[in-house]
Amino acid sequence: MELRVVLGLALLCSALEAAPAGPQRPRSAVGQFWHVSDLHLDPTYHITPDRTKVCSSSKGVNASNPGPFGDFLCDSPYQLILSAFAFMNNSKEQVSFMIWTGDSPPHVPIKELSTKLVISIIGNLSSTIRNFFPDLQVFPALGNHDYWPQDQLPVTTSEVYNAVADFWKPWLSDEAISTFRKGGFYTQLFESSNSHQPLRIISLNTNLYYSPNKVTVNITDPANQFVWLEDILETSSQKQEKVYIIGHVPVGYLPYARNTTAIREYYNERLVKIFRKYSSIIAGQFFGHTHRDSIMVLLDEEEKPVNSLFVAPAVTPVKSVLQTESNNPGVRLYQYDLFDYSLLDLWQFYLDLRDANKKNESNWKLEYILTKTYGIEDLKPESLYEMAKQLSMPHSTLFEQYYSNYIVSYDKTILCEEGCKTCQICAIQYLDSSSYTHCINQEAMWR
């Protein structure tokens, strides 16, 4: 009960403080929604003396310090996923909807999964969400692991698309389901009694553009999703709708790998062009996939900030044995303006996995509030651009905080300097090839 009261009061205070000078913005003008991503359930997870046998997702490597809520070398035990949804449910936050940006099955060798198993895991987690939130509107997106073999999502109807469409029927309209069956993407209006206009959700199947997807090599417009997207955005523009874009694999450059886009470069350039063209109606973009917490600001050709993009960290804490850092499990809450769906704030929650395992209880906590941590007014593109400028200053302590949040408070002693910082800073501000390359070539500035 204590958590609910504290959280409720904190949110209320935040809403009041965020109100502009002059007439006070009433509390009712703020809407909220949850974002969860990369659940990656590992059904094999169990505590056993033989640490190579704790989970299939460690691929034979010794689990590091396994406990009831998982291990940094394993994907999520079901208990971890249940604790995340229980926390969200018990917080009693008034939310309008939830976005769920994909990846339900574990990171295991291909032979350990099958189409049947992948379908079963997505079905299990879809019904888990429905059991916790029976009356909540959920907008899901498919991830690159939501298929077998992983990454190879097809450009036409398939057994997985059909099965998942059936799981998601309670949340989606007949038209959305029909589109989804054909290519794994859809659009749907969210009607709210509190808003004067509806919000359009566009759930993209960005896995069609993902580099390891062999099915789409040399296809200019896989599943005709680009043409479909432009048609939807053009209609929305004429109707003066506001749009949220959701997807799994993000647009732009990976913050941890130099000169590497998350999707194939050709597709990335095309998406950036579309998003620039319709930036006036796109009020936010939300992705997952990297398992880390990052932001991006889409700039137009004149380098004016025109779109805010967010990559949510994973619920799974998994890392490979070669990686120095991972992430604590995270879920997040967004606040938006009910009038125009512009984003006001982001509350990131996390579970300190080591602590939870040691105490045998899951104490999900607030990690940070974005506007408070970075001293900005809201999450609009102009504000995020100001934040990006602060982060790019040499020896920025704010950047140190950003990197700690990027790995979801995994380890405060891990620093991101020199080349690491260059990759982060350039990925935040430059989503197209020419501007990103120019940024990377200015490397000395970020040190």
Per-residue pLDDT of 319-362, as tens digits, reads: 998 899 999 999 999 999 999 999 999 999 999 999 999 999 99
| 364/352 Cα distance (integer angstroms) | 7
Distance CA(154)–CA(167), nearest Å, equals 19
- Is residue 4 predicted with pLDDT exceeding 50? no
Contacts with 423 (C-beta within 8 Å, 6 or more apart), sequence order: 253, 254, 255, 256, 257, 258, 440
What pLDDT digit, counting tens, does each position of 297-323 carry? 999 999 999 999 999 999 999 999 889
pLDDT tens digit sequence for 68-111:
999 999 999 999 999 999 999 999 999 999 999 999 999 999 99
Residue 194 has pLDDT above 90, yes or no: no
The Cα–Cα gap between 293 and 313 comes to 5
Average pLDDT taken over every residue of the chain: 93
Take residue 294 and report the two structure tokens written for it. Answer: 């990052």
Structure confidence at residue 446 (pLDDT): 52
Separation between Cα atoms, residue 303 and residue 439, nearest integer Å? 12
The token duo for 183 is: 């290519």
Summarize the confidence of residues 161-186 as an average pLDDT. Answer: 98
Cβ pair 335, 31 in contact under 8 A = yes
CA distances, 180 to each of 53, 174, 190, 191, 434 (Å): 38, 10, 17, 20, 34
pLDDT at 24 over 90: no
d(CA 431, CA 267): 12
**Contact in structure between 384 and 347 (CB atoms under 8 Å):** no
Coil, strand, or helix at residue 265?
A: helix
| Three-class DSSP category at 216 | helix
User: How many other CB atoms are found less than 10 A from the CB of residue 111?
Assistant: 7
Q: Minimal CA–CA distance to 145: which of 187, 110, 182?
A: 110
Q: Show the tokens assigned to 12.
A: 């209320």
**Residue 83 CA from chain centroid, whole number:** 19
